[in-house]
Structure 1
Amino acid sequence: MALQEEIDKTRQEIRTDNYSMSIGELISLYEKNEIDIHPDFQRYFRWSQHQKSTFIESILLGIPIPAIFVNQREDGIWDVIDGLQRLSTIYEFVGLLKPESTDEETSFVKLQETHYLPSLKDKKWNDPNDPDNSLNSTQRLLIKRAKITVNIIEKESDQMIKYELFQRLNTGGSIATHQEVRNCILLMLNKDLYHLMRSLADRPSFKNCIALSDRLYEQQYDMELILRFILLFDRTEENLKQLGGDVSEFLTARMREEALKNGLDYSHIEEAFDVTFNLLDQTIGDDSFKRYRKEDEKFLGGFLLSAYEVVALGIGYHYKHPLPPDQILQQIKMIWSDSTYKKWSGAGVNAARRLPYLIPLGRKGFSP
């Protein structure tokens, strides 16, 4: 297909509109449940109190607010694709942001001192019990009358457009990692698959074996490891050779494909996962994916992804007939002196190049 034909075809699949709305109107939409900022996404809502305060400062000073993007659902409700942080800050500041669970109370923001408006310190929207630290009616009107451009992806558009747009707008932004963006896409596409992944990530045996740092947990790296297991443990070796150049793009694309399939039975995935990590936890625990030094007969350092790709995916592939624990431990130790592992697990070897070698290595090594 010629370039212009591709352009014309895809443009026809995207129906958009945009207009300017006041913050007061966006507040009203939220009160009427006519806009959905996805409460599930709030775990990835990372703006600090300082960021929230400077955003409110910008509104009061009349600095233009970047546009937000929404998708219009079949029921007419708007799903927020980009603008979660801005809208959540507004709704939280005015005391409307709905808590994630019924046990939580609606939060109220006290602003911090900012560069141009140091007197914003401790200011609230409107607290009858603390009028001196509340915005006055004029200041509240300044905020409610401020305008934001709303770009609308209309319901007639191709169903994948909003997920593509969400990924492009949020990767590298306030949502910091590719996996956090994947989590949000998955919540929009297939909550059952998301909840399965979350359930697997919360298994004590898995957590014991991967022994990640707090920083990696915050970045949802445990969920990326789950996704890698689901998508790769039983993938054919021929398909492994077709990963392409970017494993991150592969994970996102294959996850979306899986999420769009209806009526999938995930029981074999859960069984393979539980067999793998229960065995590892019983056998070697938090040394499962650490470097083994034969000279000292010790496992050293932290989690290594290349070891995970060999060990977890190798055991998982044979989950119906796993090796006994003593043989698993012996095989893990042998991996570190294997020439194929040494060649393809070193620095400078990207994932797309190493996986077609390391995954078969694990399958062969842990074969019954």
Structure 2
Amino acid sequence: MDIKLYTENVKIITEKWSFYQLKEWKDKGKLIFGNEPSSKVWSQDRRARWIESILMSIPLAPIFTNMDYQGRLVIFDGVNRLSSVFAFIDNEYSLKKIPILNKYNGMNYTALPPYLQSRINSASIQLCIIKPGTDEKVTASILQRVNIQSTAIDKRMIVESLNKINKK
């Protein structure tokens, strides 16, 4: 179910997207990261456990994004999660030290059985999309609120995200 929240200063919609759709948008330049992902932020083990969670069909936390005036999605919370999925699909790393589905340790995306590749591609994740026209102060406040439990976001990251959003 899609949800819309519109008030005077806040314009947010939520939608479910598959990883396949998100990767397609990324490959076409329609999905960009508010701050560039760093392989140093998430360890190889953490990336592999994230993929294992998707393979196990565990419900996934939402991704927070802005839509810029060109209709592109600017990701500001969920960068490491998405970049980990995209890198795995592109065979940039293999699963290692996953505890539950350990028979797949050592496998990259193309080595997985087709039904598991399909599970990754079709898995959906909720996007909370802040639409163009939302007040900048509100957007900055949302950026800070959603990053409380993840990697700390600093002022530089907020400015980078807002700069990408506000390019008209």
TM-score clears 0.5: yes
Deviations 1:251-279 (A, max 9, x none): xxxxxxxxxxxxxxxxxxxxxxxxxxxxx
- Structure 1 residue runs of 5 or longer lacking an equivalent are 1-9, 96-106, 127-133, 192-368
Match of 2:107 in 1: 123
Query: Do the aligned residues in 1 keep the contact of 2:136 with 2:162 (CA within 8 Å)?
Result: no
Match of 1:77 in 2: 72
Match of 1:112 in 2: 96
| Greater relative CO (CA pairs within 8 A, separation 6+) | 2
> Within 5 A, what are the aligned runs for 1:26-45?
26-38=22-34, 40-43=35-38
Supply the RMSD in Å over aligned alpha carbons: 2.1
Counterpart of 1:60 (choices 46, 55, 61) is 55
SS state of the match for residue 65, structure 1? coil
Give yes or no for the alignment of 1:20 onto 2:16: yes
Match of 2:112 in 1: 135
The CA deviation at 1:66 is: 0.6
Deviations 1:175-215 (A, max 9, x none): 3xxxx522211323469xxxxxxxxxxxxxxxxxxxxxxxx
CA distance in 1, matches of 2:38, 2:84: 14
Count of aligned pairs between the two proteins: 159
The CA deviation at 1:156 is: 2.1
Q: Specify which structure has the higher proportion of helix.
A: 1
Q: Specify which structure has the higher proportion of strand.
A: 2
CA distance in 2, matches of 1:80, 1:150: 9
Q: How has the CA–CA distance of structure 1 residues 57 and 44 changed in structure 2, closer, same or farther, with 3 Å as cutoff?
A: closer
> Within 5 A, what are the aligned runs for 1:154-165?
154-165=131-142
SS state of the match for residue 79, structure 1? strand
CA distance in 1, matches of 2:122, 2:39: 28
SS state of the match for residue 53, structure 1? helix
Match of 1:350 in 2: none
After superposing on structure 2, the runs of 4+ consecutive aligned residues of structure 1 that deviate more than 6 Å are none
Identity of aligned residues (%): 25
Match of 1:239 in 2: none
The structure with the largest alpha-carbon Rg is: 1
The CA deviation at 1:61 is: 0.7
CA distance in 2, matches of 1:151, 1:68: 6
Match of 1:181 in 2: 154
The residue identity in structure 2 corresponding to 1:19 is E
- Structure 2 residue runs of 5 or longer lacking an equivalent are 1-5
CA distance in 2, matches of 1:186, 1:114: 36
The residue identity in structure 2 corresponding to 1:186 is V
Q: How has the CA–CA distance of structure 1 residues 78 and 190 changed in structure 2, closer, same or farther, with 3 Å as cutoff?
A: closer
Q: How has the CA–CA distance of structure 1 residues 45 and 74 changed in structure 2, closer, same or farther, with 3 Å as cutoff?
A: farther
CA distance in 2, matches of 1:51, 1:122: 15
